[in-house]
């Protein structure tokens, strides 16, 4: 089995207006993930708004999470930064606190070349000693990891996994097959993009890196379990029940929707970091209606 597999749940990071982590709210979110027995927690990903948090607040969020999970499940934590030295420091913090791996994106204001990204990732892996997950997220970074670059990075000691984006669901199987041919055995291949993730897991991906699982982990676990047991029909049936949520993700962005879901489920009341604004009341009513329309076992 790959180092990372199954469902990796990505919660929001509740903060106040000054960017200070709300420890009580974060613990409520993490508790839901523990009850659902997700396979790992993806802390401080894009949904966790890592790029908006100071090094101190990132340490605070990770420390709170690791204290609560007490080694019961791996915690993969975002260590991305604009500067390589800052990313190294964040990865060193994560290793010292006990994170299982670091999630690293090619974040930059200036467009990066493949060689620059390779140097960035290999430096962070080497100097931190923390296992690194390649985070290919072109929707926010505007950098896409080409197959040759992924193959180069997979040969670097300490780079152990990749979190791929998804595009068309019917292209995932071919993408996964091609990537498996070029990557070392045991290198974990996972996908994000929740509305296509059921097909990725059915195709044999190791991991689903899920936004929705950060707030509704149970229903996501049922999809992963069905796919892993070879029951594609059941995985697709459950996924079909989530189409209203996937439509809202596409319309308003998954980040904004999960903040609204956290409030509607009375887990916590938090706003995304400015300049991102909370959704207006009309959008929240749409989300409430979609939530009410989900099967009872999907809305816990």
**Ordered alpha helix ranges (H), 155-205:** 172-182, 194-203
3-class SS of residue 15? strand
CA nearest neighbour of 106 among 153, 63, 151: 153
Query: How do 6-9 and 207-210 pair as beta strands?
Result: parallel
Active-site residue numbers?
135, 163
DSSP at 112: P
Residues contacting 55, CB < 8 A, separation 6+ = 86, 89, 90, 93
Spatial distance between the Cα atoms of 5 and 201, rounded to a whole number of angstroms:
10
Query: How do 40-43 and 75-78 pair as beta strands?
Result: parallel
**Terminal Cα distance for the chain, rounded:** 30
Beta bridge partners of 132: 102, 159
Burial pattern 242-253, b for ≥16 Cβ within 10 A else e, equals bebbbebbeebb
41 in Cβ contact with 23 (< 8 Å): no
Beta bridge partners of 21: 15
């Amino acid at each position: 089995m790959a180092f990372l597999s199954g469902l990796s749940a990505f919660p929001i990071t509740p903060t106040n207006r000054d960017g200070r982590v709300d420890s009580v709210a974060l613990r409520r979110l993490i508790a839901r993930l523990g009850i659902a027995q997700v396979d790992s927690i993806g802390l401080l990903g894009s949904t966790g708004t890592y790029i908006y948090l100071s090094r101190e607040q990132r340490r605070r969020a990770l420390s709170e999470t690791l204290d609560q999970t007490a080694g019961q499940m791996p915690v993969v934590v975002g260590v991305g930064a604009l500067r390589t030295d800052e990313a190294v420091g964040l990865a060193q913090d994560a290793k010292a606190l006990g994170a299982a791996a670091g999630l690293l994106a090619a974040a930059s204001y200036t467009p990066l070349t493949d060689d620059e990204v390779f140097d960035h990732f290999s430096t962070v892996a080497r100097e931190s000693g923390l296992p690194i997950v390649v985070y290919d997220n072109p929707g926010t970074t505007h950098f896409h990891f080409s197959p040759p670059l992924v193959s180069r990075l997979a040969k670097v000691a300490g780079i152990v996994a990749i979190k791929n984006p998804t595009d068309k669901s019917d292209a995932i199987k071919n993408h996964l097959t091609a990537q498996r041919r070029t990557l070392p055995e045991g290198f974990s291949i996972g996908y994000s993009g929740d509305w296509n993730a059921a097909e990725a897991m059915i195709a044999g991906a190791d991991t689903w890196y899920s936004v929705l699982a950060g707030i509704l982990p149970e229903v996501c676990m049922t999809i992963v379990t069905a796919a892993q047991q070879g029951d594609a029909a059941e995985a697709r049936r459950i996924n079909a029940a989530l189409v209203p949520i996937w439509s809202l993700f596409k319309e308003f962005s998954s980040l904004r929707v999960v903040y609204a879901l956290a409030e509607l489920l009375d887990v916590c009341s938090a706003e995304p970091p400015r300049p991102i604004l909370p959704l207006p009341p009309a959008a929240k009513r749409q989300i409430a209606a979609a939530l009410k329309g989900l099967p009872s076992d999907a809305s816990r």
